[in-house]
Amino acid sequence: MKKFTVLFFTLLAFIVSNSVALAQDNATKKRPAPIERTHVVEDYLPILGKQMRAQGMRPPKPFFVSAIYYHMQIPQNITNARGWGFHPAFNTEAQAIPVSMYNAKVETNSVGFRAGINLLPFMSIFGVYMHTEGKSKFTAVADGNQAMPNGYKLDQVNPFKADTGAIGAALSYGFRLGRVVPFAVINGNYAWTSTDRTDNIIQTLIVGARVGVNVPLPKDMKVAFMLGTQYTYMPMGNQVSGSYTVTLPAGTIIGQNEPLQITSKYKADAEYASPWTFNAGVMYSVNRYFDILAEVGFLTRLTAMVTLQANF
């Protein structure tokens, strides 16, 4: 009875590194002479980039691709859980038994990539793919009934796998203040996730904002510090369904003399302990072509992310 709604918050943080780089480049001061393009695509992308170079300003590179690692731990509230299909007395959903879920928590490790284009000097669009492997931890409590007079209380750790896709866009703005560049980024994306423990595709809308400051370093290097927040909304609701496997101690079911592994179908309502996430991060730009982003999330949701990005 799972907490798979957790998988979507992983998506929003992944778009930050390019957006920050975008804001940094937009705020670059004017140069006395026009800047030559590197390749012919830069005559067309980003739109208005050619005009910027003619005025001595450097637009962002047309394309970017990132490799991503993301770790997350998050509690969830699981309500209205019920299970069936593991015993003749509870063979259909109409015969499902109610199950109370406590201490629900999910831990995930995700790897994936993001690719996109800088459509305008201040706007990027992108797609994301993430593969996730995680563990769902919870305590399940069922009251006694005709087949299980004493009910049960089980501490469970169930592994799962998931695949997530997303599309989104980011807008950024930066301005020069002495040698540093304060910036702001707003972004949004739509994500869809399938897991090996749920029957339905889980859809999510995520919006967020970040503010920070970019500090130039020698030899075209830069470092940026940022703070931000994001909000996750599920337009399809919070109900999940699927199947899971547990081991019942001997004597749980009448006539059961040994531990018994069962597979049960389920439905449950799941929601985040909080839809909000707060983040702090740092990005190091080796040059205009390579960025390294590290970010942590805190308060209710604990996260850690590393992104390596190439701009071309």
Q: What is the CATH number of the domain that holds 188?
A: 2.40.128
Determine the pLDDT at residue 279. Answer: 96
Determine the pLDDT at residue 241. Answer: 82
Q: Is the pLDDT of residue 3 over 70?
A: no
Q: Is the pLDDT of residue 8 over 70?
A: no
Mean pLDDT: which of 94-103, 131-140, 162-171 is highest? 162-171
Task: Look up residue 48 and give its two tokens.
Answer: 């208005």
Nearest CA among 22, 209, 204, 11 for reference residue 113 = 11
Measured CA angle at 10 (ends 9, 15), to 5 deg: 105
Contact residues for 94 (Cβ-Cβ < 8 A; gap 6+): none
What is the count of structural domains for the chain? 1
Strand pairing category for 239-248 and 290-298: unpaired
d(CA 73, CA 273): 11
Q: Can you say how many angstroms the Cα of residue 277 is from the centroid of all Cα atoms in its chain?
A: 11
Measured CA angle at 233 (ends 229, 234), to 5 deg: 150
More confident of the two residues 108 and 15: 108
Helix (H) or strand (E) holding 26: helix 16-26
More confident of the two residues 153 and 217: 217
Q: Can you say how many angstroms the Cα of residue 38 is from the centroid of all Cα atoms in its chain?
A: 34
Tens of pLDDT, residues 175-195: 999 999 999 999 999 999 999
More confident of the two residues 177 and 58: 177
Contact residues for 287 (Cβ-Cβ < 8 A; gap 6+): 219, 220, 221
**Which of these ranges, 5-19, 32-46, 199-213, has the smallest mean pLDDT?**
5-19
Q: 287 and 220 in contact (C-beta within 8 Å)? A: yes
Q: Is the pLDDT of residue 56 over 60?
A: yes
Amino acid at 111: V
- Locate the DSSP E strands across the chain: 63-84, 97-120, 123-142, 152-174, 181-195, 202-216, 222-233, 239-248, 260-272, 276-285, 290-298, 302-311
d(CA 246, CA 2): 13
pLDDT tier at 237, thresholds 50, 70, 90 = low
Tens of pLDDT, residues 261-301: 888 888 998 877 788 889 999 999 999 999 999 999 988 88
Question: Structural domain of residue 252, as residue ranges?
Answer: 4-311
How many other C-beta atoms are found inside a 10 Å radius of the C-beta of residue 149?
A: 11
pLDDT tier at 68, thresholds 50, 70, 90 = very high
Q: Is the pLDDT of residue 28 over 50?
A: no
- Please state, for a pLDDT cut of 70, what percent of the chain lies above it: 88
Determine the pLDDT at residue 7. Answer: 40
More confident of the two residues 246 and 44: 44
Please compute the mean of the pLDDT values over residues 229-254 and round it to a whole number.
81
Q: 284 and 223 in contact (C-beta within 8 Å)? A: yes
Q: 3 and 81 in contact (C-beta within 8 Å)? A: no
Q: Is the pLDDT of residue 21 over 60?
A: no
- Please state, for a pLDDT cut of 90, what percent of the chain lies above it: 51
Helix (H, G, I), strand (E, B) or coil at 54: helix
